[in-house]
Amino acid sequence: MTATTDGSTGAPAPEATAATTAPAGATPDAAGARAAAGRAIQRATEFLLARQDERGWWKGDLDTNVTMDAEDLLLRQFLGIRDRAVTEAAALFIRGEQREDGAWATFYGGPGDLSATVEAYVALRLAGDEPEDPHMARASAWVRERGGIAASRVFTRIWLALFGWWKWDDLPELPPELIYFPKWMPLNIYDFGCWARQTIVPLTIVSAKRPVRPAPFPLDELHTDPRNPNPRRPLAPVASWDGAFQRLDQLMHGYRKVALKPLRKAAMNTAARWIIERQENDGCWGGIQPPAVYSVIALHLLGYDLDHPVLKAGLESLDRFAVWREDGARMIEACQSPVWDTCLATIALADAGLPADHPALVKAAGWMLDEQIDRPGDWSVRRPRLEPGGWAFEFHNDNYPDIDDTAEVVLALRRVNHPDRPRLEKAIERGVRWNLGMQSKNGAWGAFDVDNTSPFPNRLPFCDFGEVIDPPSADVTAHVVEMLAVEGRTRDPRTRRGIQWLLAEQEANGAWFGRWGVNYVYGTGSVVPALVAAGLPKTHPAIRRAVAWLESVQNEDGGWGEDLRSYRYEDWKGHGVSTASQTGWALLALLAAGERDSKAAERGVAFLADTQTEDGTWDEPYFTGTGFPWDFSINYHLYRQVFPLTALGRYVHGEPFTDRAAAPAEGS
């Protein structure tokens, strides 16, 4: 990555820091907070500008958990391509993530996770670590105490079944004939969220083939009773949903024995065509690692050799998910986030005072314009007449643009004075039109699809790995509403329906649930600025309840933090170690609500100023992003940079687009 090439230092223009002088009548505390904020803005801006790629984008590392690294090694073992250098580098990373009790967690500071621990343990066995090694003995004891392999998730047991460590008969059945279900039929593939759909289609082939490659070692030490390694799980009552779907799975196992071979073969070939049609130009699938892994396995089982162009490109794409660290460790990213990082960085720099025609912003806007998707994807199954125009999260993912990225890209482009104004306006118009067309029938927006709310996919015994549907969420809906308000569409009936949905979704404590960020701090930090931008008065009861809640959960150090355990446990809502990104979210809500001169805002700004490092960033080991709430957590390395900078910029310069008078929102 490079600094800007226009000869500038990358520091904000003079107006970026001039507003740090407190207005007449301001308290000494306020004056000090604004001065500290100005200094922090300067350092943070320089840090961020220096990390822009020469092509205009930003991308931070994306930490998830060691199952990515373990499954990468298992894939290479299955395909016969595992080499010593990759194995040792992956093992170095996996060992470094182990907790003192022997387990592995799925997020920093979190509790041990059984499935992650099983997969990490097996990966280290592949790397040559022995069961009697102290760290391995601790891990196996921890696994046995929690039920052993038999208690792990379905995905973990599928990986073990590939090597004969688990019986295929004891896994849920996934018939490839699923590919033929029409879109009106329950449990058709488009009832699943796009990430689950891309995973399930290749796994139907794997499930039908049931391959077993010789295991290089036994795993008796991970069973509570090695003489009975595959104990059957008890059935739920037949009158319950779980019981009904368990018995449906039994029927599918019975169907396997009588399935017509020509039909099954045709279904697998149709699934293979579906997979190949969705391979991206860079060889990946959907820009995310898990579907790519299972697609490679599925196609290989159907006879595609590793030198086939489809598989060769797929394997090369997986190598691009690897992050090699200075200590020689190799970490696998589940996906990469350049579009998301770039639009958020653009917003942060503009709100921090960088001129709209600054070369870095113009270059970023140009790159984002090039990334707009102009062809239909899976979303068009539900919206066949809607013209494309969205943006995806990743470098290459034309099949799955998402509503959240599209809204934020539009908001970013609106902050830039791009020299090709007609092109920018056309791109924004297409993005707005696409987002409006993706509104669900309840008035809100999901992330990738319309009305992806079927209650059935989550009931399948197979689906125990996290969310498999994509219902509307408050954070995505808020970003769309904010974008529509900036575009002057507050009075549009579709915007007003989104506003009403958000008001109805506010919880009794005043917060909003955060689907794609942790958690109520993220939801509230997204919704309040959107409602205010859409014209809701700052005195509105919903805004005041949100402010009161944020003030009630502010930490003693002045920051805000929320642990991922808030997705499961009531006592964790709004509580956790203060982080820079979550403090930024809280401040964005308070500032939008008119609390710029409040004690809570001053303390939050002081926290950011005091905890900023010498080089202009913030330390943030805690995971504040989510893929699936609780089940799959993310540490976006640029969150610690862009959200504090955005908040500090708005604290010093005020809210963006203040010259755009919004019409009062319905319900105000």
Catalytic residue positions? 404
Report the alpha-carbon distance of residue 410 to residue 419 in Å, rounded. Answer: 16
Question: Which residues on neighbouring strands pair with residue 560, listed in sequence order?
Answer: 579
Report the alpha-carbon distance of residue 432 to residue 390 in Å, rounded. Answer: 8
Let me know if 597 is exposed, middle or buried by CB neighbors in 10 A (0-12, 13-18, 19+): middle
Nearest-5° angle of CA 128, CA 130, CA 136?
115
In angstroms, the Cα distances linking 388 to 340, 405, 407, 449 are: 19, 14, 14, 13
Query: Length of the chain in residues, anyone?
Result: 668
| Sheet arrangement for strand 632-636 | 62-63, 632-636, 625-628
Let me know if 570 is exposed, middle or buried by CB neighbors in 10 A (0-12, 13-18, 19+): exposed
Report the alpha-carbon distance of residue 201 to residue 294 in Å, rounded. Answer: 9
Report the alpha-carbon distance of residue 72 to residue 238 in Å, rounded. Answer: 39
Centre a 10 Å sphere on the Cβ of residue 111 and count the other Cβ atoms it contains.
Answer: 12
Report the alpha-carbon distance of residue 294 to residue 206 in Å, rounded. Answer: 8
- The SS3 call for residue 557 is coil
Let me know if 657 is exposed, middle or buried by CB neighbors in 10 A (0-12, 13-18, 19+): middle
Nearest-5° angle of CA 332, CA 585, CA 338?
35
Instruction: Give the helix, strand, coil percentages of the chain, each rounded to 5.
Output: 50, 5, 45
User: Which of 1, 44, 2, 6 has the alpha carbon at shortest distance from 362?
Assistant: 6
CB of 528 within 8 A of CB of 636? Answer: no
Tokens of 158: 């599928």
